[in-house]
Chains A and B, each alone.
Chain A
């Protein structure tokens, strides 16, 4: 409904590999468990009504203040290194 839509904790960028050791347990944690932080939270937003980019937003969940916005593609490049 809004310009941006929310997807969830930015840890979702770190998807386990299917052939990892204990992949089943890793996928359970990846899919269902969340730290649900009160305070500075990194999270994924999709610019639905705009350029359709995926963003990693750093936001304070106690007062909704947005501290940093990065392109998810850039963040993922950092993770791969």
Chain B
């Protein structure tokens, strides 16, 4: 079923009884050309682009829980392309361009809202580094503007301009950045992929791979063995666990990242704002809740729930920026398990086993990357060589010394 205004009117007149499920619940075939493990944003996007752009028809997506229950529903919904390193910036700018045309392409309202992302700086040195980043963004075809203090005061009057410790000096603004309804991204990609014939299976957990003379020929699941020519893993958070079945040890640690939502309040924040003197980012959802987050908890965890000292740290940073939110009550908080890599950048690559591909290591930048990640991973699976935008996201870069360390932190995942 395709969604449009006429359908809404028609269904409105008929008591909304004619809507069918967004995606089918098909029977598992014995064999697929491509199996994607992981029905999150990246896995579904991969399946969609494989079918749409690379003309592969016989595809299955296997999800161990339900669609939208993993990290695609556990983030702060921000999209942006404000990186400095060329390897990252070109990729994330491609992603932002795909976000801009996404809803039309998947025929689904994902509430893509380019309400602007403002990165505030608090010192002259930080201003210099933000200008440098802004120039790098512009070179890579993205948009970036430098806002001075007066401009920020006029648009964001609620920030604390009296803070002596962290004075607001200005900001780097990306107008095309913004927010997207995160679980609608998963549902939308599932809807669009299903329409192109992709089979989506929920509650279907992969327990092992099957190898035959050095090639991956299928997967063992809780619903039996499924044969496949090619298998792609898009299970960020659990990559180390899944690929340990293929005897791989990866440059990844799994860490918990928390996100928080306050009670609904009247519209106050016009876009996304980040604090430059700590780690804090905030936006306001269309329902009025303040959506915010900060650092990862900082230690290995698969628990999908976080600790209170990070909550305290995030709230302290938030109040240093905008004390007016101190009375807002916290409504919800949740944790997602992140693949934190040793350089803070992702991995989209083949493995040492023929027919087995990996898409992993999204640290906590995975949501905004969803469309480009799916596209580049689909390219890799379909053509057996990397898309030019992801050719630097190789697994062997750690061995060869070609790290993509955006923050320059070195090989310590909890600092990225």
Q: Which residues of A come within 8 Å of B, CB atoms?
A: 1-2, 5-9, 28-29, 31-38, 41, 43, 59, 61-64
Contact = CB atoms under 8 A, between A and B. Distances in A.
Contacts of A35: 240, 244, 249
A34 B250 contact: yes
Interface of B: 238, 240-241, 244, 249-254, 298-303, 307, 309, 313, 342, 398-399, 411-414
A62 B251 contact: no
Contact of B254 (A28, A29, A61, A64): A61
Contacts of A59: 299
Contact of A64 (B240, B244, B249, B303): B303
B interface: dominant SS? mixed
Given A8-B253, A28-B399, A61-B254, A36 B300 contact: yes
Contact of B250 (A5, A9, A36, A41): A36
A8 B309 contact: no
A32 B398 contact: yes
B411 A31 contact: yes
A34 B398 contact: no
Contacts of A28: 398-399
Nearest to B403: A32
A5 B301 contact: no
A43 B309 contact: no
Contacts of A36: 240-241, 250, 252-254, 300
Contact of B249 (A8, A33, A41): A33
Contacts of B309: 1-2
Nearest to B411: A31
Nearest to B252: A36
Most central of A8, A9, A28, A34 by chain B CB within 10 Å:
A34
